[in-house]
Amino acid sequence: MSDASGQPPALSVPGFAAEVRATGLLALPLVAGHLATGLIGFVDSVIAGRHGTATLAAVSVGTAMFWLPMMIPMGTLMALPPAVSQLDGAGRRDDIAPLFRQALWLALGLGLLLFAFLSLASLALGPMGIAPEIRPGAAAFLHGIRWGVPALTLYYAMRYLSDGLHWTLPTMLFGFGGLLLLVPLGYAFAFGAFGLPELGAGGLGLASALMMWAQALGFAAYLACSKRFAPLALFACFERPRWRSIRDLLRTGLPIGVTVAMEGGLFIATALLIGRLGQVESAAHQIAINVASLCFMIPFGVAEATTVRVGHAVGSHGSREGVRRVMLAGLALVLGTQALSALVLVLGHDAIAAVYTADAAVAALAASLLLFAAAFQFPDGVQVLSAGALRGLEDTRVPMVLAAFAYWAVGMAIGVWLGLGLGLGPRGMWIGLIAGLSVAAVLMAGRFVRTSGRLPRRGG
């Protein structure tokens, strides 16, 4: 969060408690905004579950196939917050607008590429072994949501600019604004209310696309009209794409995108493999993974705030002590929030599952999977926070390799062996998730200690 002058709070304020407070204030709107994004999946799942088990299973598979490739452009654009924050910390605010305009070109290009990919993705449902009764709804969901992809990538570029300047309130406001829009749109298109045809899973995809365009246009209008951003002159001129600037963003951002895709892909590939087992298993997994995703939004928001704080620390003074203090402040926040999430999942797993579905078989399996979700709260929080701190240091390539090993060589291998090889089904796949996240937590935290150790000591 910014002070009354519009400038970010100084990182040089001594004391661990002060850093916890600064990181917490910056993270709070990010967490709220991410929770709003997670609640969008909740709304889709609840509407789909009330429409029918087949619709919920279709949305589960369709959501997985949408977010798996979406992770790459979303992660690639995460190069923007640390870059903007370092420019801001170094007093080079005049360089922010040109960088932002090039980021918009990159976002548009990534969005169009992903639109083309999703137009063909439904053809893979059969070869992937997705159950035949799930395929039509999943294809309809993909065909609907793909229209919002260019808007979503542009929205991320604008959001990351604002986050990098320590102004995270718009992330929360536009996140909840999109949620409020999706509730009536999703219901109307899925069930055929207000004279509209009943479109089921396809209607939910189309409603999500409309929401994405509303968010992107709203954020663009905010940046253009806000007095806070007026001195930056973000839209003062039209600039053609400049390959050097875009290449620099890709050099830092593409490994981030691959890393995010590695983690997200672990969950998404798990959903697709469970989709081979049938409607009940797929629907139960969708419920559990949606709840786990909501829990994940909290440490993810803290991690993004830590990225910005680390970047600002590097730009302003670059000391080892300051950077590590930021990381420890984020860790304190994450351990607290993850303990709370684990407690809620352990105590409320049956009640939570019952909110999503009236199908007793689906609810029972989903409730058991939520206990596995409780088990990986701590490693999930530590690994995402460590990755966020590494992004602030612009250390992205080695973490990409570490992520590939932890999530796939360990997590996916164990999940497939237990879930499909030994016949443990969804429970076996979720044990694989726990293993992959635990290994990632150890490797990412170790990498941060090593990378931050290369920084000079204060006064050294």
Closest CA to 39 of 294, 210, 283: 294
Give this prediction's pTM: 0.75
> How is residue 230 annotated by DSSP?
G
* Other beta carbons within 10 Å of 163: 27
Sign of CA dihedral 354, 355, 361, 365: negative
Residue 227 makes CB contacts below 8 A (sequence gap 6+) with none
* Other beta carbons within 10 Å of 332: 17
pLDDT tens readout for residues 3-12: 444 444 443 4
Q: Give the domain ranges of the chain.
A: 16-452
pLDDT at 101: 93
Cα distance between residue 410 and residue 295, in whole Å: 23
Classify burial at 313, counting beta carbons within 10 Å of its beta carbon; exposed 0-12, middle 13-18, buried 19 or more: buried
Cα distance between residue 372 and residue 354, in whole Å: 17
84's tokens? 């903007």
Q: Do residues 392 and 314 touch, judged by C-beta distance below 8 A?
A: yes
239's tokens? 């600039």
Residue 330 makes CB contacts below 8 A (sequence gap 6+) with 23, 27, 302, 303, 305, 306, 309, 385, 388, 389
**What is the residue whose two structure tokens read 């620099």?**
248
13's tokens? 């304020």
Cα distance between residue 291 and residue 282, in whole Å: 14
119 — alpha (psi -120 to 50), left (phi > 0) or beta? alpha
Residue type, 248: D
pLDDT at 60: 77
426's tokens? 């969804």
* Other beta carbons within 10 Å of 335: 16
pLDDT at 14: 46
Host H or E run for residue 167: none
Residue 376 makes CB contacts below 8 A (sequence gap 6+) with 292, 433, 434, 437, 438
Cα distance between residue 203 and residue 191, in whole Å: 8
Residues lower than pLDDT 50 in the chain = 1-14, 459-460
Cα distance between residue 326 and residue 310, in whole Å: 6
